[in-house]
Structure 1
């Protein structure tokens, strides 16, 4: 029988807003700041970023974490450290120069492939971070330093089970429809008001000619598409696990 790769991992997709609007020198500054932010946050959270499998993308990255990195530390201390670093670095900057970050977390199939990473969680984390309505809302909210999107599984396993310092009500439920992904998710955006977040969809759209097929947010719908992402991959001492912590 052919040996088919199959690993499960926590996947983190993160992206700096406004990269495409900058000059070459601004791009250099943003790339360095992006790396510095993540390295500082990992140290503060007690995580070993050097063990992560990282696919770099200039203004963003896709990180596939080994089983040795506890999910609650990533969801809680790491994300909060990113937020704190952003607030600190942005304090002396003009609004148009501030660094603002979207972060998405998903858990599921994720493993090295010929040109990056493949797997369900890779697709889900990427689509959650790239979700159009959230990107537009974030763009219209200059007061926001960070926005975090959790997949349904990560929210249920880590936040609802009280493995973090978050409360359930700290998150806003949404229904994400982005390319091949249609799935519920949960948003943490400490500087964005509930009134603004309420503009985001909470139901899946109805397909024309199929009547009322909307799914409420509490239903779990997993992404089944397996895809590769392009770009260089850095993986040092990578050790995937197949057990969800």
Structure 2
């Protein structure tokens, strides 16, 4: 059988956080409430729910938005509508029924056979929404109701256009490597936050598709360590501490640290992240809260000596 010609669609994917961890009664409520939330949000974007092709995913929903929909209006108003509807939902239900969403937006070709859809664009969007770094952002953003991830293409064509109501500065890249070793990049924003928490402030280079030495292809690195999923994320680059940071924090560095550039200190080795005075892994960085703390075995001074 010859496949029908594909059509280009704006594709929206929504996934409820921790759905499978809820009691079955809570799952049933969340499943029903998701439809009310999405219908309200689509109305804010000037779209009729009945005009969209909808695929129920149990813990979420996949939408094909009608061809010809304004991408800027969709991105701006759909997110505002989802945020408002989730705030209202939060006011009606307890923590067991709290709904927080990972939402993805992409555009691409979709082959439709009745209620069945196929296409790389759908697969790519599912990978973005399920990526470890995206889950990590929502886990870190405790007061948020949703996190939005858009594809690199949407970021280039819509977000960076600086259209009214869309702030490019609120988006940060989330790099990860798929289980098949394919590097991917999405762009993440969290309504109510100036920038998504848990992501590096500097974009850096997209992932190369190779994990750490001895690691199986596609396992990625530490960026996606929170939230699980098949795509754990790409390695986070080592943080660079200024000489002033070293002096003010009284940081003593073990054998795994090297001074670079004279005025900066780069902490090497394996770690999850640097968050204040915490460094994971097997490199030893000790934080002393005041000048009276015991002297370490070797201290790196502000001038790198």
Of 199-208 and 108-117, deviating more is 199-208
Cα distance, 1:146–1:195 mapped onto 2, change above 3 Å: closer
Q: Which has the higher contact order (CA 8 A, sep 6+)?
A: 1
Counterpart mapping for 1:66-145 below 5 A: 66-91=66-91, 93-113=93-113, 116-145=116-145
Deviations 1:122-142 (A, max 9, x none): 111111111123213323433
The verdict on how the C-alpha distance between 1:206 and 1:40 changes in structure 2, with shifts beyond 3 A counting, is: closer
CA distance in 2, matches of 1:117, 1:51: 16
Shift of 1:184: 2.1
What does residue 26 of structure 1 align with? 26
Mean CA deviation greater in 157-166 or 56-65? 157-166
Give TM-score, length-normalised by structure 1. Answer: 0.75
Contact 1:86 1:99 in 2 (8 A): yes
Contact map agreement 1:37 1:82 (CA 8 A) in 2 = yes
Please list every run of 5 or more consecutive structure 1 residues that lacks an aligned counterpart in the other structure. Answer: 210-245
Contact map agreement 2:133 2:174 (CA 8 A) in 1: no
Against the structure 1 CA distance between its residues 140 and 162, is the aligned structure 2 distance closer, same or farther, given a 3 Å change threshold?
Answer: closer
Distance in 2 (alpha carbons) for counterparts of 1:130 and 1:3:
28
**Aligned mates of 1:93, 1:80 — CA distance in 2:** 20
Q: How many residues align?
A: 209
- Residue 203 (structure 2) pairs with residue 207 (structure 1): no
Structure 2 CA distance for aligned equivalents of residues 190 and 70 of structure 1:
21
Classify the secondary structure of the residue corresponding to 2:99: coil
Distance 1:110 1:176, change over 3 A: farther
Relative to its length, the structure with more helix (as a share) is 1
**Which residue number corresponds to residue 224 of structure 1?**
none
| 2:190 aligned residue | 189
Say if 1:31 and 1:59, in contact at 8 Å, map to a contact too.
yes
CA distance in 2, matches of 1:37, 1:154: 23
Gaps of 5+ in 2: 214-305
Q: Using structure 2 for the length normalisation, give the TM-score.
A: 0.61
Residue 68 of structure 1 and its aligned partner are, at CA, apart by: 3.3
User: Cα RMSD over matched residues?
Assistant: 2.7
Q: 1:52 to 1:92 in 2, by over 3 A?
A: closer
Are 1:8 and 2:11 counterparts?
A: no
Could you tell me whether the CA contact under 8 Å between 2:133 and 2:175 is conserved in 1? Answer: no
Query: What SS does structure 2 have at the residue aligned with 1:91?
Result: helix
Cα distance in 1, alignment partners of residues 34 and 20 from structure 2: 14
Cα deviation code 1:14-44 (max 9, x no counterpart): 1111211112211111011100000011112
Indicate the larger mover: 173-182 or 95-104. Answer: 173-182
CA distance in 2 between partners of 1:179 and 1:51 (Å): 35
Deviates most, 63-72 or 125-134? 63-72
